[in-house]
Amino acid sequence: MKEQIKIAAGFIILAAIILGGGAYFLKPAGANPLGSLGIDFAQFTQCVADKGWQEYGASWCAHCQEFKAEMGNAWKLIKYNECGNQEKECLNKNIEGFPTFLGLDAKTGTTTSVVGYAGWNTLEELAAKTGCTLPAKK
């Protein structure tokens, strides 16, 4: 009888471990609103989007993927244009590198772009051009 209780307890523990691990790995994509930098960019990206700025990128672009990872769920607030599907539009807008952010410069009112190769420096440049406040680094 004791042996059966030990076996049953072992199965219960094993089932709990499997179900708990499965729940962790099956959580919905983007369940963590913070990106790889651990910073909440939601207000910043909402401001960028509200000012009409758009991102132009390509699915194969490593810098684009890094930007998405850094922003977490917040990157979805900025209108994204996939240049692989809209090549003509991207060429017409003189998009030469990815990701490129395109919008009106907050200081001059002229159309300008920020090309995103430099991580945090790109975000600082985007903040300066949009007039949006970048959250503090952690």
List, for residues 113-127, the tens digit of each pLDDT value. Answer: 988 765 667 888 999
Q: Are residues 123 and 65 in the same domain?
A: yes
Q: Are residues 125 and 63 in the same domain?
A: yes
pLDDT at 130 over 90: yes
Q: Which domain holds residue 64?
A: 42-130
Q: Each residue of 46-61: pLDDT tens digit?
A: 999 999 999 999 999 9
Burial, 40: exposed, middle or buried (Cβ in 10 Å; 0-12, 13-18, 19+)? middle
Q: Each residue of 68-88: pLDDT tens digit?
A: 888 889 989 999 999 987 788
The rounded percent of the chain whose pLDDT value lies above 90 is 37
Of 41, 103, 113, the residue nearest 77 (C-alpha): 41
Q: Are residues 53 and 94 in the same domain?
A: yes
CA distance 18 to 12: 10
Q: Are residues 122 and 54 in the same domain?
A: yes
pTM, 2 dp: 0.69
